[in-house]
Structure 1
Amino acid sequence: MGSIKTLSLFSGAGGLDVGFHMAGFDIVACVELETKYCNSLEANKKKGNFFSPTTNIHNIDIRNFDPHLYKNSGIECIIGGPPCQTFSAAGRRSGGVIGIQDLRGQLYEEYCNILDVIKPKVFVFENVYGLPGASNGEPWRQIIKAFSEHGYELHAEVIDAADYGVPQHRERLVMVGVKNGSYQFPMPTHGPDSLNGPSLVSVEEAIFDLQIPGELKTKGLGGLYGHLLPEVPEGLNYAFFTAEMGHPEPVFAWRSKFHDLLYKANRKEPSRTLKASPGKFTGPFHWNNRHFTIEELKRLQSFPDKYEIVGSYGQCVEQIGNSVPPRLAFCIASSVKEQIFSHSKEKFKFELRPAPFKSTFRQRQRERSQKFKDIAAQAIKEKYGSLTKYIDPEAISPKTEKFYISRPNKFTRQVSDKKGKAGVNFSQIVLTETAAHIRIDMDEQPVTLSSSIHLELKVSGLKKYLPRFDTLTLSANINSTEEIFYCWKEIEAALVERSKFFTLIDIYGHYANRGDVVNIETNLTNPTQTKLIKAIEFFSQTTNCGEFIPEERMLEVLAISSSELEEIVETMRALRYDIRTWLSHPIIGKGKIICTYPFPLLSPKALVESKVKFTNTEEYSI
């Protein structure tokens, strides 16, 4: 049997293509939007690495790709999966994405159109494992319906790449559509679910020959969290520093960060999923407290050493992190080839999954979580000698301090025990500590009585993170809504000074996946009670944040028009409230609004807008 002509869609850096090539498929053409990915494809084509000299690389939006170029050209297989951010957990946390209501989530329709023109015998569609459950399963049902209506019998499974020899736990949804005939997924080739196969491939096994003999551990990465990395045991992440893991001096709230923050790979096991856009403190990190090299990351993603990834370090990390592991692609491709294209009666190279087969990788994942707790407990015991440090709040004597705050700029506060000069704006702070409670009384100086705003604010549920305190209240007289920001600056300072936490969000938790321990209630009064103040008060409650709210409800609650709401949202964003609509995040679509936190974002880098831009948002309004 000769090579099977194949069209690659959403090719990325070529991970899926490499695996299919190794299984005997001929990649006739690649369609990829991003130029930097196409540069990698072209570089390997030029060297004859897994692409033939005649492979066409189309650097184009798939919506502008003309499939008639390959009609009746003998293409029998199409591979590729649309961008996954719209259905991924990371996407939900970063932008409130909502599946097929995001334009990227509609690209499967282009896929179907191409199938209609080329009519391959089989296609392989790959995406994030969360797709079937996103938006209560509605996007998945629509995708299944669309592919079925185009004449394909569909077979889909969520697969962990580690079960197929990849030194990385990477759960992906794989769907195989067959025009005529049927298909069964292959049995795992590695690990406990395999048929007497080898163990899962560990990080150390994959990269041992790339290590520098005698390499010393670094002292960390620097920056806000980097110094913590050396303390993290192998296999754990930022959660090592949470109360839930037994840490006596918590630094983070439970689920307050992405699970890859400060994640250090366990060299004796597969790594967690590689990320395409990691931040400075995002793992996996090497056990010597450094980032992995590009050569090491290629191995963890199962790319052949001779396969070239072109670009800067960050660009290469992105391309590797967004790729399908070639080893997993090879297993799927070989299985497709044997079942769809081979008429041989010989035994299949990859044993097929029997009907009652059920993977245990989720169960193993839970077992690893318990193991991590045991590892954390041992590490904490070795450092602290005890797993808990109980402080009786009643035994703490009440304490009051008075000081003054001046601000050279918005994000800088200077503390003094003396009042500011006449005519200079400053804040008078009286901070009182009593049993389990912090009280802050704050007065802006001078106060303009005719337009002053009185703010009463309560933060509760702190005890898990601040052993001495459970609640904080702030009472403030301020001159304008802009000064609410400074009130929260004082709250953050008071909490950080009395804990090991670094920021207010570290204590409160990430809006999309909070443990709902810390609660915030706010009351604002002003002689005029403007609609803006009413809106700020509404969104300054935990109960009104972190979830999408229909615009109709907001118009009713605030008694305003749509245009007034747009103006209020714009003003609140200027006040550094992370309130999002389709104007700041087009992927949300019209008709919804979300405020992520019940307080303004205090970091100068925290407030962002979506990088996704649509050419015509009217077409995708909801």
Structure 2
Amino acid sequence: MRYIDLFAGAGGLSEGFRRAGLEPIAHVEADAAACFTLKTRLAYYYLSENEKMDIYIQYLKGEITRDQLYSFVPPHILKSVINIPIGVKTNQTIFQIIDSINGGKDIDVIIGGPPCQAYSVIGRSRDEDGMQGDPRNYLYVQYGIFLKRYNPRMFVFENVVGLLSAESGKYFRNIQRYFGALGYVVEPIIVNTNKFGVLQNRKRIIIIGWHKDLDISIGELADNGNPEHKVCDIFQDLPELQAGEGIDKYSTYSTSDVTDYLRIAKIRNGINILTQHVARPHTDQDKEIYRIAVEKWKRNEERLDYNDLPERLKTHKNRNSFLDRFKVVAANLPYSQTVAAHIAKDGHYYIHPDIEQNRSISVREAARLQTFPDDYYFEGAKEGRIRTSAYRQIGNAVPPLMMEKIARQLTGFIK
């Protein structure tokens, strides 16, 4: 089956659907850095399927440039990543590119998750107008235009749970009516990634739509996860880092032993080259706070309340909300806190549990919490300027492991 990925980001949704056996026709994404990530992932699949993985490995080692990597990939594959924002002025251009690639064949599924800030509870609370009038509130209309154009049998629309409550449910009701008028039965399902084997507490809404003439009944989407695993399973084979340390390309693992979880989640999958295990630098003050947070957790499994810090360490004026802004990624729990795009701004909410390393989690550790495999390389708009962009892409992404399991369940209905 064939699919189009809208608002594709770094490709978490697409990775899941591809693993489930579907064929990507196009990825549409406005962010240039994410588009390079998508192209690099397409290069990985092409080279893997054509027994040329030595070329991809050369790239992960830093022996060839990004342009050199892409030169080994047929142009039409790279062309399928469309770096154009979706909108009234650009949709016809996007259609022309997709149609030139697809050759008039059927599209079975459209997937995608429009930017969620306008629907998120936190986003609305931080905006003085509650995100009213934000054009991102209506990107579902653009999504619908693609449904009308390609008439897929099913669509998967991923977003934050706050979509159900935004404007007292007005936006969701509008979405339901709009997609219904296009000929689809629409069913929202709230999922938590920790029910799919992802070591992360991350609630999302998956809106499933299917042609009204299909006899489908979708119940709960879950597989009960892997409750015997702990967050420590993602850290054990990674070399220790201090704040500001790490190598973007061609590092090595600290041990050849691979935990069961890393194997089950397909995080370690054969390429023994570690990339992007890079930690951001921190001030002495931040590191002192991190140490207090880790000691508090190790001593009593107690979270740090910002107001409990010594006065000399309190620099934030807001003392009434976000009091858990410094939080340890606890190694002994079955799942971590939600990895969000804010990790690109600072690491305070993602403190590494090892007090001797005294830092926030690395790019690779964040990617692992999202279940991206270690051979998944996150690009920047320019080579060599990657860390912040990678964190942002990872925080905005959908965990591939969850989406693979959901895709297998959903596509079984329309085969």
User: Same fold by TM (over 0.5)?
Assistant: yes
Q: How does 1:199-238 map to 2 (within 5 A)?
A: 199=227, 201-212=229-240, 221-222=282-283, 225-232=286-293, 233-234=296-297, 237-238=303-304
Deviation at 1:158, TM superposition (A): 1.3
CA distance in 2, matches of 1:306, 1:18: 12
Q: Is the 8 A contact 2:10 2:393 kept in 1?
A: yes
- Determine the structure 1 residue equivalent to 2:339: 274
Residues matched between the structures, number: 326
Query: Is the CA contact 2:4–2:111 (under 8 Å) kept in the aligned structure 1?
Result: yes
Report the 3-state secondary structure (helix = DSSP H, G, I; strand = E; otherwise coil) of the residue aligned with 1:267. coil
Deviations 1:426-467 (A, max 9, x none): xxxxxxxxxxxxxxxxxxxxxxxxxxxxxxxxxxxxxxxxxx
SS of 2:5 mapped into structure 1: strand
**What SS does the aligned partner of 1:158 have?**
strand
Which residue pairs with 2:375 in the alignment? Answer: 306
Contact kept, 8 Å, 1:84 with 1:128, in 2: the verdict is yes
Report the equivalent of 1:123: 155
| C-alpha contact 2:230 2:332 (8 A) present in aligned 1 | yes
More helix by share: 2
Shift of 1:238: 4.6
Task: Write the distance in 1 (CA, Å) between the matches of 2:176 and 2:6.
Answer: 18
Q: CA deviation at 1:207?
A: 2.9
Determine the structure 1 residue equivalent to 2:142: 110
Rounded to whole Å, the distance in 1 between the matches of 2:43 and 2:313 is 53
Contact 1:260 1:282 in 2 (8 A): no
Instruction: Check the 8 A contact 1:16/1:329 in 2, yes or no.
Output: yes
Q: Summarize the Cα distance change of 1:265–1:9 in structure 2 as closer, same or farther, 3 Å threshold.
A: same
- The partner residue of 1:290 within 359, 366, 383 is 359
Residue 323 (structure 1) aligned to one of 370, 394, 397: 397
Note the C-alpha offset of 1:153: 0.6
Using the TM superposition, give the Cα deviation of residue 294 of structure 1 relative to its aligned residue in structure 2, in angstroms: 1.5
- In 2, the alpha carbon distance for the partners of 1:266 and 1:102 equals 36
Task: Say if 1:162 and 1:200, in contact at 8 Å, map to a contact too.
Answer: no
Among residues 4, 9, 24, which one is paired with 1:7 in the alignment? Answer: 4
Instruction: Write the distance in 2 (CA, Å) between the matches of 1:36 and 1:129.
Output: 27
1:164 aligned partner = 196
Kept in 2: contact 1:169–1:272 (CA 8 A): yes
Alpha-carbon shift at residue 323 of structure 1 (Å): 0.4
Q: Secondary structure at the match of 2:352?
A: coil
The alpha carbon displacement at 1:208 in A equals: 1.8
Give the TM-score taking structure 1 as reference length: 0.48
Q: CA deviation at 1:211?
A: 4.3
Work out whether residues 5 and 77 of structure 1, in 8 Å CA contact, stay in contact via their aligned partners in 2.
Answer: yes
Structure with greater strand percent: 1
SS at match of 1:83: coil
Report the Cα distance in structure 2 between the residues aligned to 1:280 and 1:154, rounded to whole angstroms: 38
Contact 1:98-1:135 within 8 A present in 2 as well: no
1:177 is paired with a residue whose SS is strand
2:242·2:359 contact (CA, 8 Å) conserved in 1?
no
Deviation at 1:147, TM superposition (A): 0.9
Alignment of 1:25 with 2:22, yes or no, is yes
Deviation at 1:156, TM superposition (A): 1.0
* Aligned residue in 1 for 2:39: 42
Preserved contact between residue 261 and residue 281 of structure 1 (Cα < 8 Å):
no
Does residue 256 of structure 1 match 2:320? yes
Contact 1:154 1:175 in 2 (8 A): yes
Paired residue for 1:58?
Answer: 82
Q: CA deviation at 1:206?
A: 2.4
Q: Residues 214 and 91 (structure 1 numbering): CA distance in 2 closer, same or farther, change over 3 Å?
A: closer
- What pairs up with 1:46-195 in 2 under 5 angstroms? 46-48=43-45, 54-55=76-77, 56-63=80-87, 64-66=90-92, 68-69=95-96, 70=98, 72-96=104-128, 98-99=130-131, 101-179=133-211, 180-190=214-224
1:183–1:336 contact (8 Å) kept in structure 2? no
Deviation at 1:275, TM superposition (A): 1.9
1:283 is paired with a residue whose SS is coil
How far, CA to CA, are the matches of 2:132 and 2:105 in structure 1? 32
Deviations 1:216-252 (A, max 9, x none): xx9x943665422211133765526459xxx999968
Compared CA separation, residues 337 and 255, structure 1 to 2 (3 A):
farther
| Secondary structure of 2:144 counterpart | helix
Report the structure number with the largest CA radius of gyration. Answer: 1
Select 2:413's aligned residue among 317, 339, 351: 339
Deviations 1:488-543 (A, max 9, x none): xxxxxxxxxxxxxxxxxxxxxxxxxxxxxxxxxxxxxxxxxxxxxxxxxxxxxxxx
Go from structure 1 to structure 2 and tell me whether the alpha carbon gap of 1:177 and 1:80 turns closer, same or farther (over 3 Å shift): same
* One-letter code aligned to 1:301: Q
User: What's the CA shift for 1:186?
Assistant: 4.8
Change (3 A) 1:261 1:171: same
- The C-alpha deviation readout for 1:120-165, integer Å capped at 9, x for no partner, is 0000000011110111111111111111111111111111101111
Q: Distance in 1 between matches of 2:209 and 2:396?
A: 23
State the partner residue of 1:345: none
| Structure 1 pair 58–156 and aligned structure 2 pair: CA distance change class (3 A) | same
Indicate conservation of the 8 Å contact 1:166/1:327, yes or no. Answer: yes
| 1:134 counterpart letter in structure 2 | A
Deviation at 1:209, TM superposition (A): 1.4
**Gap regions ≥5 residues in structure 1:** 192-197, 342-622
Quote the Cα distance in structure 2 between the aligned partners of 1:147 and 1:174: 14
Counterparts of 2:29 and 2:242 in 1: how far apart (Å)? 42
**8 Å contact kept, 2:306–2:319:** no
Q: Distance in 2 between matches of 1:188 and 1:259?
A: 32
- Cα distance, 1:118–1:129 mapped onto 2, change above 3 Å: same
Q: Tell me: CA distance 1:165–1:260, structure 2 relative to 1, closer, same or farther (3 Å).
A: farther
8 Å CA contact 1:236–1:265 kept in 2: the answer is no
Distance 1:255-1:129 versus aligned 2 partners, 3 A rule: farther
The 3 A distance-change label for structure 1 pair 307 and 213 is closer
DSSP-derived class of the 2:168 partner: helix
Indicate conservation of the 8 Å contact 1:124/1:177, yes or no: yes
- Return the alpha-carbon distance in structure 2 between the equivalents of residues 163 and 14 of structure 1: 21
8 Å Cα contact 1:38/1:57 also seen in 2: yes
1-side partners of 2:324 and 2:379: how far apart? 25
* Shift in Å, 1:258: 3.5
| Alpha-carbon contact 1:261-1:283 (below 8 Å) kept | yes
Deviation digits for residues 549-578 of structure 1 (CA, Å, limit 9, x no counterpart):
xxxxxxxxxxxxxxxxxxxxxxxxxxxxxx
TM-score if structure 2 supplies the norm length?
A: 0.71
Residues 154 and 178 of structure 1 are in contact (CA less than 8 Å); yes or no, is this contact kept in structure 2?
Answer: yes
Paired residue secondary structure (2:412): helix
Q: State how far apart, in whole Å, the 2-side matches of 1:211 and 1:92 are.
A: 39
Q: Distance in 1 between matches of 2:367 and 2:374?
A: 7
Instruction: Flag the 1:187–1:86 CA change in 2: closer, same or farther, 3 A.
Output: closer
Higher relative contact order (CA 8 A, sep 6+): 2
